[in-house]
Structure 1
Amino acid sequence: MLSANTSHSRNINNNPDDPDDPDPDDPDDPDPDDPDDPDDPDDPDDPDDPNDPNDPDPDDPDDPDPDDPDDPDDPVPDDPDPDDPDDPKDPDPTFPDPTDPTDPTDPTDPTDPIDPTDPRDRIPVNTCTN
């Protein structure tokens, strides 16, 4: 015969049979097995957990926003700044690179003249005849 046990609540935080619950009698302690436990600061399954530093929730104002170049919480800005030589997102911080033969001369820079002996400055000539 089954009998109803009403001596303790059904709250998973005070489950005396839960080996992961550090204090089975304390309903306010974090329980790692309960994804809805508001007392668990490190719950990776809770997308709305404000204490989770890896929370990718775009609605959380404290998260870095990868699409916002001006986000103060983003440790590395996402837009390359061509005028900033120390910008880690700039794919080519030194344009042109004199040590790289595949890096062409900058045509917008009047101080960088075209040098016909420099392979980077050579313009392919169409030798095809019709």
Structure 2
Amino acid sequence: MYKTECPYCNLLADPEQQIIFENATCAYIQKPSEQQVLEGSGLIVPKRHVQDVFSLTAEEWNDTRELLLKTKTFLEERHGHDGYSVGWNTGKTGGQSIPHAHLHVIPRFLDEPHAGKGIRHWIKQQDNRRNS
């Protein structure tokens, strides 16, 4: 399936978007403008338009894993980072702003202001408690 209005179905429509590498079903992409705050960050996206991580095929899962390991090597050769945040946002409430599955791969550095704060840090704050 292909969606003409989906930026991840049209990776080359954005002249800034860079496909770093790809395999049969997925691509690892980076945008230079996003490197100023999230140095080395990028996304692994399936080539097929698929709304969320739960809709990936077994082949897309395997190809995502293959690119994740290749991305790790790529990033370790270029950045002196100290860890990673890796994750999927799914659905609007889960923080997904583009309805095409994409895996965030974000190198983390000891000298960044939020070092040591993982993916769950922001959602487990007391001010995020539900009113039930």
Q: TM-score range by the shorter chain?
A: under 0.3
Higher strand share: 2
> Higher relative contact order by CA 8 Å / sep ≥ 6: 1 or 2?
2
Higher helix share: 2
Larger radius of gyration: 1
TM-score where L is the length of structure 2: 0.21
